[in-house]
Amino acid sequence: MKLLILGINYYPELTGIAVYNTEMCEYLAKKGYDVHTLTGFPYYPFGRDFSFWYKEKKSQFSLFLTETINNAKVMRVNLYKPKKANTIKRIIHESSFIFLAMLKLMFSFEKYDLIICISPPLLLGLVAYVVSKVKQVPFIFHIQDLQPDAAVELGMLKKGLFASFLYGIERFIYNKAQYVFTISEGMREKIIKKGFIKDKVRLFYNWVDTDTLKPMSKNNIFAKKYNLENKFVVLHAGNMGKKQDMQVILESAERLKGEKLILFLLVGGGVKREFVEQYVNEHNLTNVLLLNVQPKSILNEMFASADVSLITQSKKVKNIVMPSKVFGPASVERPLIIAATDECEISKLARRYNFGLVIEPEDADSLVCAVIKLKEDKRLAKLMGKNGRLFMVKERKMENVIDKFEEEILR
C-alpha cells in the first residue's frame, strides 16, 4: 500500500511535530508500507542553524530535493524561513510551503492509495484535498494543533474577516476529509462542537519510544558534562513559544537564587528564546543554565539528569494543544510540575494517573512551592516518576499507538 504523508516538519528537526512525523513514516515503512512524505527544508525552531544539513545536501538554493531515509521516500520543498517569526512572517512562511507543495504534487505522476495530512499548517489540508480529487484517493486530516483557535485565543490573530475565512477553510477541510484525527480528548470534543459527528472525529495520540527513553541514573555523561550531579535540576525542554509561559519559570528561578542546590535547566529555542536570554542576563540568574536543542542520541541522559520537569502554559491555552513535553521526563521516571488550567488535557491526565503536581498557570509562588515540595518529598517524587513511566508504557508506547491508528484507517 502506497501512502502519501504531508507535513511541514521532518528530520533533521529534533523537536515538536517533526519527531512524530518522522517516527510515524519510518515505523510504517518498516512495517512494509510504501511511504512517500512531502515536507519542507528544515527550519524549526525558527532561527536554528541548519547550515550543516544544507552543506551536506548542497541544496541551499534548490527548490526541491528527494532523498530516502530509513526506507521512507522524503520529498522536500524549500520555503521562506524567517529567523524571527511574527504573524505576517508565519503566513508568508506557510504560504510558500503550501504553494510549492501543490506545485510538486500536481506535476507528479505517482499514484497513492491514501493521503495523510498533518496540521499545522491548516491550509495544507487544501493541498491534500486537491491532490485527493485529482488522484481519486481519500485523505485523512490529522490535527496536532487547532491553529485558528490557537491564533485567536493567544492574541496572535484578531477576530474578524481573516479569522472567519480561516474557520471557513477549516470547516471545508474537515468536511472533505474521510476522517479527522486529533491528539487529545479535549481537542476532539472541541472539534465535535464545531458541528461534526463523533464517528468522523477520532483520536491518534502522540507517543513516545519507551525502548529508547527509559529510566537511568542521574549521574550520567550529560549530567557530568554540565556539572549537574549534585544539583536539584528543574528542567524545561522544548519550544519556547507563544503557548509556553517562560516568564513564570524565570521569576521562580529569581526567587530561588538563594537555594544553592537548585538549578533551572532550560533547553530549546523559539520566539521567546531571546527574551529568556535577556532576562537571565539582566537579572544575573546564575542558577539558570541555557542550552540549545540537544541531539536525539543524548535525550535519555538529558531527561534523566533532571529531578523534575516543567510544563508551563499560558492561561489562554486550554484545549487547543496537547504538550508533548510530558513524554520524555515521564518515560525516564521523572515527576512533572504542570502549570495549566484545569480544562487542559494534560492537567486531567496528571491528576488521573498521578504523575505530576498540577498548579495554577502564571503563578510564580505556586511554582516555587511545587519545586520545593518535590525537592523535599523524595518519596512523592519517586512515586510520581514511576506512575509517569507506567502511563507511558501502557498508554503512549509508540508501537501500540501507531498500530491502533493503522487499524482505524485500514479497517
10-residue mean pLDDT series, the chain (411 residues): 96 90 96 96 84 82 92 95 85 94 92 96 96 95 89 78 90 96 92 90 94 94 96 94 89 95 93 93 96 92 97 78 84 96 89 96 96 97 97 95 90 63
401 and 282 assigned to the same domain: no
CA distances from 234 to 162, 263, 373, 400 (A): 41, 6, 12, 30
CB neighbours of residue 319 within 10 Å: 21
CB distance 248 to 362 below 8 Å: yes
* Structural domain count, the chain: 2
8 and 149: one domain? Answer: yes
Expressed as residue numbers, the domain containing 360 is 221-395
Residue 84 and residue 233 in one domain: no
**Residue at 216 is within a domain:** no
Q: Is residue 365 part of a domain?
A: yes
Shared-domain flag, residues 132 and 245: no
Same domain assignment for residues 295 and 199: no
Asked, for residue 215, whether it belongs to a domain, the answer is no
Would you state the torsion angle of the CA atoms of residues 391, 393, 395, 397, taken in this order, to the nearest 10 degrees?
140
Same domain, 129 and 267: no
Instruction: Give a yes or no: residue 288 inside a domain.
Output: yes
Show the DSSP H helices in 299-363 as ranges: 299-304, 327-331, 345-353
- Whether 37 is in a domain gets the answer yes
| C-beta neighbour count of 272 within 10 angstroms | 19
Asked whether 36 and 112 are in contact (CB, 8 A), the reply is yes
213 is a domain residue? no
Q: Residue 266 to residues 43, 102, 279, 376: CA-CA distances in angstroms?
A: 20, 38, 13, 22
CA 303 – CA 71 distance, rounded (Å) = 29
**The CATH number of the domain where 50 resides is what?**
3.40.50.2000
Are 337 and 402 in a shared domain? Answer: no
Question: What is the reported pLDDT for 288?
Answer: 97
Predicted confidence at residue 33, as pLDDT, reads 95
Give every strand in the sheet of 114-119, ordered side by side.
Answer: 64-69, 72-77, 34-40, 2-6, 114-119, 139-143, 179-182, 201-203
On whether the pTM is more than 0.85, the answer is: yes
Instruction: Say whether 139 sits in a helix, a strand or coil.
Output: strand
The count of residues in the chain is: 411
**Do residues 240 and 276 touch, judged by C-beta distance below 8 A?**
yes
Place of cell 532576562: 279
- In three-state secondary structure terms, 247 is helix
User: Per-residue b/e over 23-49, b at no fewer than 16 CB within 10 Å?
Assistant: bbbbbbbeeebbbbbbbbbbbbbbbbe
Instruction: State the pLDDT at residue 319.
Output: 63
